Amino acid sequence: MNKFDDMIAFVHERTTTGRFAQVIAVDAKFELFSRAWCVAECVEADATCLPQFVKIQSTESLDEHYNRLANLSVEECEASHKEDKDYILAKIRDVGAFNERLQWLVFGSNGLMNSWMDAQGRIAQAGHIVARIRAKST
Q: How far apart are CA 52 and CA 23, in angstroms?
A: 6
| Confidence (pLDDT) at 1 | 45
> Which residues, including other chains, have CB under 8 Å from residue 29's CB and lie 6 or more apart?
65
pLDDT above 70: percentage of residues in the chain:
79
For residue 119, pLDDT over 60 is answered with: no
SS (H, E, C) 71-101: CCCHHHCECCCHHHHHHHHHHCCCHHHHHHH
Question: Is 42 or 131 the better-scoring residue by pLDDT?
Answer: 42
Q: pTM of the prediction?
A: 0.75
- Spatial contact of 108 and 69, defined as CB atoms under 8 Å apart: no
Q: Is the C-alpha dihedral spanning 93, 94, 95, 97 positive or negative?
A: negative
pLDDT by residue (tens digit) across 83-112? 999 999 999 999 999 999 998 899 887 888
